[in-house]
Amino acid sequence: SKENGGFAEYVEVPQDSCIPMPDSMSFDEGALVEVLACGIHAVAEQAPVTLDSTTVVIGPGPIGVLASLAAQQCGSKVILAGLTQDMDRMKVAKELGVERIVNLQEEDLKQIVLDSTDGYGADFVVEASGSYPGVKTALDLAAKKGTVCQMGVNHGEGQLDWSVILHKELQVIGSLSQKPTAWIKAKNQINEGKIDVKPLVSDVMALEDYEKAFEKAANVTGFKVLFDLEK
């Protein structure tokens, strides 16, 4: 709804911004619907990835992991890439069913992608790290006439070789947040057990511990920190 007050006991929002949560869904799962919706909007609505394609996701944060799982739900083969500092998150992603994880600092991601695609490159690359090195890597990994979907938010200015887009005839699209259609899909996939989001809840804390909660949220070893207003 883009209204302030999300941590308050009560908050007034427009009715059309509300989506009923099934009785069978826990509040922890409900809190992750928005995150999965971001991933679904990127891979199923913006890209959109196709059956039997190869998708590389750069950045194993909560959105990157759930975008990977959403791409697999679309029938794509997925490679999730991150750094050494991301390995705790990568292990959770693997346990949740992400087919292939790659440590960018220890493995040759481009060679892995080429070997997996008979030398063509990735059909789709989702950039979820928000870093300029990530964007450069995404453009490099994409196959000719491939699609690069930018999800990560870049801060500041950076330089990119735009000739790569020209010579490879790439489609480069942005994916910001989510749309109502993605919310419904996310809610259904969680409720039907197609995607398990519970392991992405690292901590559930009392609102009075908000400083500690934000500190934990900034730590890349964890995922999502939730507030329980009844604590």
Beta bridge partners of 100: 79
CB 99 within 8 A of CB 74: no
Which two tokens mark 199? Answer: 């392991």
pLDDT digits (tens, 9 = 90+) for 33-61: 999 999 999 999 999 999 999 999 999 99
Domain ranges, residue 90: 25-200
Task: Give 159's contacts (C-beta < 8 A, 6+ positions apart).
Answer: 132
Residue 221 lies in a domain: no
φ and ψ at 73, to 5 degrees?
-65, -25
Residue 184 lies in a domain: yes
Q: Is residue 4 part of a domain?
A: no
For residues 67 and 83, give the distance between their C-alpha atoms in angstroms, rounded to a whole number.
Answer: 17
Residue 214 lies in a domain: no
| pLDDT given for residue 223 in this prediction | 87
Q: Indicate which CATH number applies to the domain containing 137.
A: 3.90.180.10
pLDDT score of 181 more than 70: yes
Q: Is residue 88 part of a domain?
A: yes
Residue 140 within a domain:
yes
Total number of domains constituting the chain: 1
**Rounded distance, CA 45 to CA 43, Å?**
6
Does the pLDDT at position 1 exceed 90? no
What the block records as the tokens of 118 is 């008979």
Strands (E) across 5-67 are located at 54-58
| Residue 199 confidence (pLDDT) above 80 | yes
- For residues 110 and 107, what is the distance between their CA atoms, to the nearest angstrom? 9
Closest CA to 26 of 197, 219, 227: 197
Residue pair 60/86 in contact by the 8 Å Cβ criterion: yes
- Whether 86 is covered by a domain: the verdict is yes
What value does the mean pLDDT of the chain take?
Answer: 93
Global confidence as pTM: 0.92
> Does residue 216 belong to any structural domain of this protein?
no
Tokens of 55: 């998708």
